[in-house]
Structure 1
């Protein structure tokens, strides 16, 4: 894998820390700003909503920009939004900063996904995606738990400042590592924006996005409200929240590795194995959440299954969106975050029911069950024949040549081999 891909993963680490860190900060923010825990859960949904809207919008605006300029600009806006959030005492203003940060992250991730897959051979999209998303899993293992611990010891504002500082080395890495030459698309080279947007009508793409959104919604529904489960249902201390997040993050790293290895070759097998296991795991976690040993074990397993299945499905979005080379990353980002909008909202609505803090875990099981029920009639989105799913790899190969500045060697395979 090329070095620029790992530099992009570093930036995703900084941004991913912010995306997930609220799972350990909700009670502190609610107390400090005088709102309910359920209301602070809307910060996660607002961030995800900003990414759903921002992914195609920012990708469309930046499609003709050099990749390095677009990525650097998005990181700097993200930094500024976190600095503003760290000094505000207004919940509506905090909510607004989350939307701005989400727009910046959406633009960055949309460009980064397209850039990452353009840096490698068409048959290695899944592996490139796994490297890029390793920044997210690393954030869950180290960044998010460290943020939760920092928030417990020094207040949630310190965590926002830490994320802002973390953006600085990411920006330096992008400036020094991502190729400066070549716009992501050029006049007359590849499909125009209208043609790329029209590809959203593809049944295979729409199905892959729907399945990815449901599974990611399940992940966010349970993950966002893990802190109340740990401190309330399981009766553990606040510092245990960081430990639980580490377990989920460690599992997610293994799950992303599974997706990177199998999503290109055997996606149907990953869905068939991980889907039912993920559903069973969320239900078991809801039932056994009051038993600390079971909680700790199941959280790690759910991290593995969530990212193995979710990573595989989002890779299928990139394959299905190959005819839209500059917008494919935004479609994958929108799919991920459509679920991240609905998941926490559905989970928050269960907190006032008899299920209490276990409600979000049941909500996660419900969303996975919905995905499994739809997976059979939509199985073509997961198991598409290689010849059809790579119809758009020629534009992607051209994009890779523009980014690298190297001509394509004659006779190089265009699809998986």
Structure 2
């Protein structure tokens, strides 16, 4: 079977004064291009105080870029920032090539990866919001449509451009309504989960750090059925929707584990807005597991991007554990001063460090649990069954006045059967 011919492109970026992440940003742009099946033939960069208002890069650099396109026989240029509609028009005219920007690449990847109806709607909404202001680049040869005169026939006298804009605006409204329904349904599900009083632990982090792989490794560790596994693959934005799984620990403790959308630097604001309802599920969490690709030399930079996104969502007050994943791929062990605390070194692939991670989760989420003694009168066997189901029964003794149990449970749960306590809570 023949492999599809990959398109070829040149990357172009502008490094502003004091921009420390520029080198990584360009590497990431190359990864985004690769995810779109585009081969990078060359990279052109320029240092400048500010973006050129009409061409992004300076005129001299644009001339150099045009010569390079001709020499390499390439007809696509990908720019490292979001371009304005006028910049796209001017660049395509000067370069005689297709002009893409970082936002376009990310939108294309999201469109390809989206699986659930909600994520598909969110991506399409973001794409239309991005396209709408760029319609003015359509050739002025659109002309006016033939048609009657007067208010009854107003549409027939509009330009093709105006018709396109109205259709997109109507579609945006339609998608927005459908999304509202889905978001409302998910809100109902969230409220149900909150009522169960089961702690929520969310996996967060940069895209492709191994969040979904970690979720699958934890599920497998506790013998969850294979149909509970989530999609995991070594590629950007493999997960575009939130997945929730219940994890049952051996001592009757359980929590909901949530796999979230991966973050990326310069995430288009249309996508942040579109995915906000999905990302806001993080706010319900009792604990965040910030998954870090410890084998990535730019790991610290990626941590900052994730933390900035969490701050934007208002999640900075939620307790966090840093899970440094892919420790098996490192050539040298990490020093303690390199780790953000509290930290656990893990490998979702080999299972290394999962016990330590689980213990850290226990200490954080179940640290407030109390150990108490209760006495259940003989003949009240249904209460014993209830305790075994909703708490961790550590020991059982049979005495004259009933069955005495040593039980570990949350304060909320203990309050429900406080009348059974040997020494009631003060």
Q: TM-score, length-normalised on structure 1?
A: 0.23
Structure 1 or 2: larger strand share?
A: 2
Q: TM-score, length-normalised on structure 2?
A: 0.23
Structure 1 or 2: larger helix share?
A: 1
Q: Which has the higher contact order (CA 8 A, sep 6+)?
A: 1
